Structure 1
C-alpha cells in the first residue's frame, strides 16, 4: 500500500506491505484522514511528547528516529477481518474507529506508534470492538471529523456549561472551532470567541459563535453580556443581600436553604472558559481576567513549562480542569450528532490533499490565515491543499 511515512521530520511517499489484521482487528481502506495539531507536534517534537507519555505510563509513543505513518482522524470501509472477530459488518461498509489498537494486552495509539500505523495511507488496521458503522449516509469527509469533534464534545461535557451560562472560547484554531460547534449543538445560548486571526474569526462566526472579538483591540470579557458576578465584591454583596432577605422570615432555619442550594449546586456561578491555545502564559492571562467563580477548561496542549499565580485563582475561587480525548460513548454520540445534522463541521474543512501533498499540507497549516483543517484523501492526486 502507499503511505506517507515521516522519519526525523521528513515525509516520504513509499510502498509498504499491506497491513495484516491481528486477533479482534479489522483492516479498512482509508477514505479520508484529517491532519491534527497533534500530528504537527509529533512531527517536530516527537521525543518530548514520548517523554511526556512515558511519564504518564505509556511507553510506546513514536520517537523522532523512527519511521511512522501518522494520522488518527480517519474514516474508511471494511476490507478484511482478523481471527476471532465477530464480523459484524459486510465488506465495503463505511466505518470510523477510535484510533487505538491492542496487541495482546498492550494498547497502541494509531498513527502515533510504530506498532500502529495511521491513516496517511491506503489502509489502516483498527480494533473491531472500537469500530462503528457510519450512519445516515454521512460523507466520508465529515465522518473523518468524528475524532476531533469527539475531543471537543468531551471538553464541553466536562465543562458542564448550562444553557444560560456564557461560554468563552479562547483561541479559534481547529479545536477551538470544534468546541464552538459543540457548545452550540449543546444549546448554549451565548458563546464568545476570541482570536487574533481574521480568517479564524470568520470561521468562528460560521461555527456559530455569538460574539467574536479580536483580543488585540477588544477584551472578550467586556464584549460578553454582564453577569451578576463580575468581581469579588459582588460575591460579598450577594451574601449580604441573601442573608438580609432570609432573616426577614421569622423562625426560618436559613441554613437549610444553604444546604439545599449546596445539594442542588444552585449557588452563583461564573462563565465557563475553554482555553484552546496551548501556549505558555495563556492560563495566567485567563485567571487574571476571568470573573470570580469561573470554570476554566484547558483543552489546548502546551508542551512547555508554564506558570500562573495560584493565589489569584484562589481569591476568585476559579475551578481549573484539564481534559484529554474522549470515551467510546462520546465518540459514538459525536458520530451520530454529525450524521443527524445536529452539528455541521463544514466550516472546519478548508482543504484536501492526496498522500503526496501531506508535507505541503503541514506547511500550509502553519499559517492560520490559510487553513483550519486539511483532510487527506489517499485516492486524490492533489499535492497542494484544494
Structure 2
C-alpha cells in the first residue's frame, strides 16, 4: 500500500507492506484522514512530546528518528478481520474508530507510534472493540472529524457550562472552532470567541459564536452582552454582606444550611467558563489576570514549552483550572451520532483536501491561519495542493 512516512521532520510517500490485523483487530481502507495540530507538533517536536508522554506513563510515543505513518482522525471501510474478532460488520461497511490499538496488554496510539501506523495511508489497522459503524449515510469527510469534535465535546463537558452562562473561547484554530460548535450544540446561549486572525474570526461566526472579538482592538471580557455579576473583590464581599443581612432578618433561620446546600448543588461556576484553545506561553497568565472572579478555565490548547502564571492571583479570584485531553469511548460515540443526526455540523472546519503526495504542501499551508483550518487527506486523490 502507499503511505506517507515521516522521519526527522521530512515526508516521503512509500510502498509499504499491507498491514496485517492482529488478534481483535480490523483492517480498513482509509477514506479520509484529517491533519491534526498534534501531527504538526509531532513532525517537529516528537522528542519533547515523547518525553511528556513518558512522564505520564506512556513510553511508546514516536521519536524524531522513527519512521512513522501519522494520522489519527480518520474514516474508512471494513476490509478484513484478524483472529479472535466477532466480525460485527460486513466488508465495505463505513466505520470510524478510536485511534488506539493493543498488542497483548500494551496500548499504542495510532498514528503517533511506530508500532501503530496511522491513516496517512491507503489502509490502517484498528481495534474491533473501538470501531463504530457510520450511521445515517454520513459522508466520509464529516465522519473523519469525529475524533477532533470528540476532543471538543470532552472539553465542553469538562466545563459544565450552564445554558444561561457565558462561555469564552480564546483562540479559534481548529480546536477552538470545534469547541464553539459543541458549545452551541449543548445549548449554551452566549459564546464569545476571540482570535487575532480575521479568517478564524469569520469561521468562528460560521460555527455559531454569538460575539466575535479581535483582542488587539477589543477585550473579550467586556464584549459580552451580559456583564459579569461580580466585577471584583468588593462586589463579592458586598454580595456576602447583602446576603447575610437578608438571611438574618428571618428569626431562628438556620441560614448556614442554605450555604451547605448551595455548595452541594454547585455543579456550575458562578462566573463564566473560559476555554483556552491557544496553547502558547503567557496566555494562561493573561486569562487568570483578566478573567472575572469565580471563573472556570478549561485548558484545551497544548503548550509545549514551560510556562508561568501567578497562582496567588488565581487564588484571590478563586479561579478554577481544569485540563482536558482526549475523550472517552462514550463521548466518541455520542459525537459521531451528533454529527450524523445533524445536531453538529463540522463542515465549516474543512477548508481543503489533498492526496498523499500533497501532505507536505498541506503542512506548509496550515502554518498560515488566514487560509486553512482543517485539511483532509484522501489517499485515492492526486491533488497535490490544498
TM bucket (normalised to shorter chain) is: over 0.9
Q: Distance between the aligned counterparts of 1:11 and 1:211, measured in 2?
A: 40
SS at match of 2:46: helix
Contact 2:19 2:27 in 1 (8 A): yes
Residue in 2 aligned with 1:32? Answer: 32
- CA distance 1:377–1:11, change in 2 (3 Å): same
Query: In 2, distance between residues paired with 1:254 and 1:59?
Result: 53
Structure 1 match to 2:4: 4
1:334 aligned partner: 335
How far did residue 267 of structure 1 move? Answer: 8.6
**Alignment of 1:105 onto 2:105:** yes
CA apart distance, 1:227: 2.1
Helix, strand or coil: the match of 1:259? helix
Long gaps (5+) in structure 2: none
SS of 2:181's partner is: helix
Partner in structure 2 of residue 140 of structure 1? 140
Unaligned runs of 5+ in 1: none
1:357 counterpart SS class: helix
Task: Measure, in 2, the Cα distance between the counterparts of 1:378 and 1:267.
Answer: 44
CA RMSD of aligned residues (A): 0.9
SS state of the match for residue 68, structure 1?
A: coil
1:107-154 per-position Cα deviation (integer Å, ceiling 9, x unaligned): 000000011000000000000000000001110000000000000000
CA deviations over 1:223-249 (Å, ceiling 9, x no partner)? 012021121111111111111111111
**Residue matched to 1:347:** 348
**Do the aligned residues in 1 keep the contact of 2:2 with 2:121 (CA within 8 Å)?**
yes
Q: CA deviation at 1:258?
A: 1.1
Distance change >3 Å, CA 248–CA 268, structure 1 → 2:
farther
Match of 2:76 in 1: 76
With structure 2 as the length reference, what TM-score do the two structures score?
A: 0.99
Q: Which residue of 1 aligns with 2:149?
A: 149
1:377 and 2:381 correspond: no
Give 2:55's aligned residue: 55
Name the counterpart of 1:242: 243
Contact 2:166-2:191 within 8 A present in 1 as well: yes
Structure 1 residue 191 corresponds to structure 2 residue 191: yes
| Residues 1:237 and 1:266: Cα distance change in structure 2 (over 3 Å) | farther
Once the 2 structures are TM-superposed, how far is the Cα of residue 257 of structure 1 from its aligned partner? 1.3
> How many residues matched?
385
> What does residue 221 of structure 1 align with?
221
Equivalent residue number for residue 288 of structure 1: 289
Q: Does 1:182 align with 2:168?
A: no
Superposition TM-score, scaled by structure 1 size? 0.99
1:212 aligns with 2:227: no
Whether the 8 Å CA contact 1:19–1:123 is kept in 2: the answer is: yes
Q: Is the aligned partner of 1:259 residue 2:246?
A: no
Q: Report how far residue 266 of structure 1 moved.
A: 7.4
